[in-house]
Structure 1
């Protein structure tokens, strides 16, 4: 632990989950910023936060805050992250990092100019079971990886006013849910060499279901399915010539997996045993990077985050999904 003092920008549901895991890990939560004084005060009481700011500008100007967790709706991520960076704060930005690739590149430019850490809060990549999955892949335990498949499917409210159904807030399955399996495919197989996507657009114009097929270097294929109004298995598999990894429900949260040989023999089993939801691992990683003088993540570099946003842009181009205000 480096003793970084965290500030949380916005007080929605994901901010509550993150604050709870910060407390679980014993990290220092110093301040919260909210446009609603009542919401900020309530959040501060719940998590014993000593400093409450009634604006985001006041939060990022606080000299007792070193790093800011940005948890506003998607269209606000870029401006909020840049505001924090311009005020000398490192940032951990809730995924998706921004609304699109152009916004992500803007944040990257500011981070590079200021020399500060800007990191996407893709917390799944930092979980213990994913660290072990990555080790097995890098060790060659699976042989030549030929395929990867994952779904992120949930039954969420169909209320048109719900955030996930609001196109003005970047709603839909892709940015909230599809980002997980798509980032997973990038993590294991690298950048796609081709992208194919199909979707069903709902009554509010957002994608209710979206499926992708990517090809990758050496011909490996990845597939994903994301849905916001129907719950599926939420499992994942990486399939190689010598073995496969089957990750159990819910694959993108702390869970178990098995390394299985082609004849069905289980070569290794992994069981997660952690406190909290698991969002603390990304925070601990951010603190390590800052302590070491690094201004980027070795697990999810900012350049990769920007490239993933570009891939999501291509998916949206193919399914005909554009957010208000985009060129």
Structure 2
């Protein structure tokens, strides 16, 4: 392929707009097509991002079939991720699929198996895993400055004042705090401490039958522990701290918007390290996907498909413990 990576987007909602905006900050990337279930929505989206009307489709399949698309970003509701990814891969396209990657591990495994059979690039769009602040945290851990990391604490929550049919609380659309927000601390905890060996969870189930608050404690291979929570009832600090014997590192402000990290030592000394943060933060995952395509990689070494499958399995276990089931689990 050429150095220019041509993107198609499925969906025209908030996340799709955030990603399309980020493509403007992504070197060597261009948005060529958008698909929606409604052509008027696609045309409105396209007008906003400078696409000609003929590149705006009232069909997802049209994006999978388009010859001027190298990779498709899937920004549809959770419940459609697996089917949309299978469709895109069936059209011979690379795929960057928004989190949660699927509704459960079974669905995720079907998508991964197809990508591997077709030898097409596939990655979960866990954008926080590619932030420079997280890279700096990993660098400091690797230096031994805080000692071996043995604990992560992380939370993510906001107060969602939405109608019962809104996707955040609608079980038919995969609603709930865990799949929408809990996946973020879960994924970063695994990135810092390694694979999860066990998890224990509790939750508050809301009136629509989905979780509105969930807390979970994980033990990682090697014995380190993470304590994570998510909420759509409370605006939490959204902080992440990783600790070792000699100190801790904190991703400042909200960890998904961190423009600096703080390192604190057992002697009371500390320092702050500024880290880059371009635009709305989504550009970094687009850069990684583009790099992988240019280098002929079928998956990112920083967000492997095996890890995505493992994390989907952890989500399944948490949901089983808190009694949260979706139609896709039948």
The answer, yes or no, to whether TM exceeds 0.5 is yes
- Over 3 Å counting, the alpha-carbon distance change for 1:264 and 1:49 in structure 2 is farther
SS of 2:284's equivalent?
helix
* Structure 1 residue 197 corresponds to structure 2 residue 201: yes
Q: Kindly indicate whether the alpha-carbon contact (under 8 Å) linking 2:7 and 2:73 is maintained by their aligned counterparts in 1.
A: yes
Q: Of the candidates 109, 114, 118, which is equivalent to residue 110 of structure 1?
A: 114
Q: How does 1:1-327 map to 2 (within 5 A)?
A: 2-26=3-27, 27-50=29-52, 51-266=55-270, 268-327=271-330
Q: Kindly indicate whether the alpha-carbon contact (under 8 Å) linking 2:103 and 2:328 is maintained by their aligned counterparts in 1.
A: no
List structure 1 runs of 4+ shifted beyond 4 angstroms: none
Q: Kindly indicate whether the alpha-carbon contact (under 8 Å) linking 1:153 and 1:177 is maintained by their aligned counterparts in 2.
A: yes
Task: Quote the offset at 1:35 in angstroms.
Answer: 1.2
Task: Quote the offset at 1:257 in angstroms.
Answer: 1.1
What is the CA–CA distance in structure 1 between the aligned matches of 2:282 and 2:323, rounded to whole Å? 33
Q: Kindly indicate whether the alpha-carbon contact (under 8 Å) linking 1:165 and 1:171 is maintained by their aligned counterparts in 2.
A: yes
Task: Tell me the TM-score normalised to structure 2 length.
Answer: 0.96
CA RMSD of aligned residues (A): 1.3
SS of 2:325's equivalent?
coil
What is the CA–CA distance in structure 1 between the aligned matches of 2:3 and 2:109, rounded to whole Å? 28
Structure 2 spans left out of the alignment, 5+ residues? none
Structure 1 spans left out of the alignment, 5+ residues? none
Provide, for residues 9-60 of structure 1, a one-character-per-residue CA deviation record: whole Å limited to 9, x for no partner.
1101000000001012242110001111110000001011231122011111
Task: Tell me the TM-score normalised to structure 1 length.
Answer: 0.97
Provide, for residues 73-118 of structure 1, a one-character-per-residue CA deviation record: whole Å limited to 9, x for no partner.
0010001011111111000000011111101101100110111111
